[in-house]
Amino acid sequence: MSTPFRSLQRTEAEARAALLTVESYDVSLDLAADEATFGSTTTIHFDSLGGPTFVDLKPVDVHRLVLNGRTLDPDTLDRGRLPLETASGPNELVVEATMRFRNDGEGLHRSVDPADGRHYVYGMSFMDAAPSVYACFDQPDLKAPYTFTVRAPEDWTVVGNAPATNPEPGLWRLGPTQPLSTYFVTVVAGPYHLVRDEHDGIPLGLSARQSLAGALEADAEELLTMTRQCFDEFHRLFGIRYPFGDYHQAFVPEFNAGAMENPGCVTFRDQLIFDTRVTRGLKMSRATTVAHEMAHQWFGNIVTPRWWDDLWLNESFAEYMGVRVTADVTEYADAWVDNSYLRRQWGLTADLGPSTHPVAGNGAADAVSALQDFDGISYAKGSTVLRQLAGRLGDETFFAGVIDHLESHRFGNATMHDLFASWEKAGAGDLAGFTDQWLRTAGPDTITLDRAAGTLLRTPPADHPADRAHSFRVAVAREGRWEVERVAVDGPETTYDAGDAPVLIDPFNDTWAAAVPDAATVAALPALLPDVEDPALVAGAWNNVRTALHLAQVDPAALVDLAVARFPVEDTGDFPHVAVPRRTIPWLFQTLLPLAPTGSLERLHEAVVGRLATLEAGSEEQLAAFRAAIRSASDPDLLRRWTTETPEGIDADLDLRWRVLVRLAVLGATDAAELDAELAAAPTAAATVEHTRARASLPDAEAKAWAWSRFTGDVDVPNYELEAAGLGLWQPTQPELTAPYVDRYFVELPATAAVRSGWVLAQAAEAFFPFASLERSTLDRARALLDDPALEASVRRRLADCTDRLARMLAVAEAHPR
């Protein structure tokens, strides 16, 4: 059972920062003694003005607490806080405790690779997880150097935030590091396979589980080449050398995020080491992730936000720079197109939802509330706004301001005001109006074409009045050819006469707005889009119509017509078990098809199989089309044939086999025994997750109960398997089986806060939400639960967003019955 730890209040953090200066952390971890827990001894040297404060600590058991030579009572530890009465001047605190390994992707996560039974550990200290690894003053503006001593099994390797030495078998020493915030601290330990290299005096490293050793070796040259290219470009742009010693990139199992920017040791989800064939789109996403985390080494790691409400600066800046640098210096010159598919709708959906918030200046009264605002607005909207600002200022002024900011606050903390002051100092002029309109006002403007009046209409959010000036391109189809024009929209109505021509508004993501195509454009797209060769324009067209559906301003049947005319196989990145349909193909299956007329799935299947025959053998488009063909197939015999007889250019690898098995499970054309046997034959980590998804998808009561036991915590499984169980459970074709779980979800969701916490608590709330129940009564139940004041904050936020999505789907369904 999880303990209701207290969330750090901003006022508490400010008071503690005013009282303390942390000089150093010395942390000893014993990872070798037990598989469930580990020993943690922390010595903190800090100066104080004198008086009461507290240290953060989330142990299984406390063995020794000593402050300035005086033993403290362990019983004073209360909900993760140990009270301290500090002396004026230097202080020393020693905490000896036992901590629990976790399996939710936070703290010190320990996993067992099903492929070979080896154990792996990594640290994820983000937000409030660090105190479950070591005692600390857990807030971003109390930075200090760290020294780690780690005892591990003798066949393990240990890496972390500083270069490691191994003075004797099983003993590792790391540090001291540069000054770090607590949320950057990591240790990665286990029998990892290592690849080492060097570039420009910087030692480089890669690591992954032994079962991925061959895949890591195959991917290493591409990863290292991108790393070298990005280092050269960041050094050129910033004029400041990377200061954290080694640069290790650790690909670790069951990681919640895409990656985490820990100085010296970046951690990535190890799905980004490809042990089966993937598309170029997924490789491009990996490239931008690598560049994103490298950008953080300067913006975020050298200079860190003082408090969590400025965390958007880290992510928006890294998002912008990561895509820009990838496009400029790596083989993935089309990275902005991939970003359009992957990020645009994620950010817009968040900004159009009930939980919208300003990019900046949210206040963030405590750490938990700050985490709720860590979303597509922080990444996609913020990076778009920074891209606009960079275009307005020009590179010379933009980077002069960034460099001044980095040098003025090196290894310290700063705020948004500090950064904008640096830009103004560099010659940007007064940026107050820009920040007020774009960063401090929530919600996007909606831009539509009033064809009859010959005007573009700019409508600000009703609850968030704004007066934003937009400059963007439109694409106009005249006589079968697309022409690109630039327009400026600086008022509620702007003259724009397109005549009868179809118009796509802001297809190239020049501004931040909800661009909605009119009915004439939507009707014309099925005939026009198949001939469009510009991939950015294709992405923009799909984003336009996705926004229109989200706002219930288009008939789903029209979008099925568009998908049939040009199935979006160019949008090729795909993690099959991720809950949020960020890309177009997952969105088609998860959002559009449940709203579309009967027979739409069959139409899509026929279209994609037809498209498959026209695509180059071995191309990523062919692979994406074949995956979509599997997902849309309704013939079990065809699916089974595809496990051995694939089109030329496609190998029947383990990934495709499990895609087929998941689809067979949904159709009721397999059973638990066959799925269990398939997993036993090749028990990889990816297969374990897809086995969970397939088991939960089976159309029988036992399968649904099996999945539900994971939601309630009666069966404890790692984070990826938990999410997969939820996604498998809710199948639109199985309403009789899933109907009892609609009520159970709303009754039992609040209690899940007693069995899990943090990131995975919110993930489970979304993965198990009954989107398949398109009923007004389901929406009413969701809204009623939102009124419960006792609902845990992260669950409330995720439930609010899911409820909004369901409400929008119902609005479409009621306006356009199937």
CA atoms within 13 A on the CB side of 574: 28
CATH superfamily of 192-444: Neutral Protease Domain 2 (1.10.390.10)
DSSP 437-462: IIISS-S-EEEEEETTTTEEEEE--T
Region 1-191: CATH code:
2.60.40.1730
DSSP class of residue 271 equals G
263-318 tens-digit pLDDT: 999 999 999 999 999 888 899 999 999 999 999 999 999 999 999 888 888 899 99
Specify the pTM.
0.96
The yes-or-no verdict on residue 593 having pLDDT over 50 is yes
Give the tens place of pLDDT for each residue, 738-747.
Answer: 999 999 999 9
pLDDT of 466 higher than 90: yes
The model's pLDDT over 201-235, given as tens digits with 9 standing for 90+, comes to 999 999 999 999 999 999 999 999 999 999 999 99
Distances 606 to 615, 635, 645 between C-alpha atoms, Å: 15, 12, 18
For this structure, is 315 an active site residue? no
Please provide the size of the chain in residues.
Answer: 818
* CA dist., res. 21 & res. 149, Å (int): 23
The answer to which of 60-64, 330-334, 651-655 has the lowest mean pLDDT is: 651-655
**pLDDT tier at 580 (50, 70, 90 boundaries)?**
low
Largest CA distance in the chain: 85
Residue 577 has pLDDT above 90, yes or no: no
Separation CA 92–CA 98 (nearest Å): 20
Q: What is the DSSP string of 395-438?
A: HHHHHHHHHHHHHHTTTEEE-HHHHHHHHIIIII---HHHIIII
Residue-wise pLDDT for 386-438, tens only, equals 999 999 999 999 999 999 999 999 999 999 999 999 999 999 999 999 999 99
pLDDT at position 578, please? 58
What contacts 24+ positions apart, CB below 8 Å, involve 522-525? 522/548, 522/554, 522/558, 522/559, 522/562, 523/558, 524/477, 525/562, 525/565
Residue boundaries of the structural domains of the chain: 1-191, 192-444, 701-818
Q: What is the mean pLDDT of residues 785-793?
A: 94
Q: For 378-390, how does the pLDDT look when each residue is reduced to its tens digit (9 = 90+)? A: 999 999 999 999 9
What's the pLDDT score for residue 568?
87
One of 106, 233, 261, 293 is an active-site residue; which one? 293
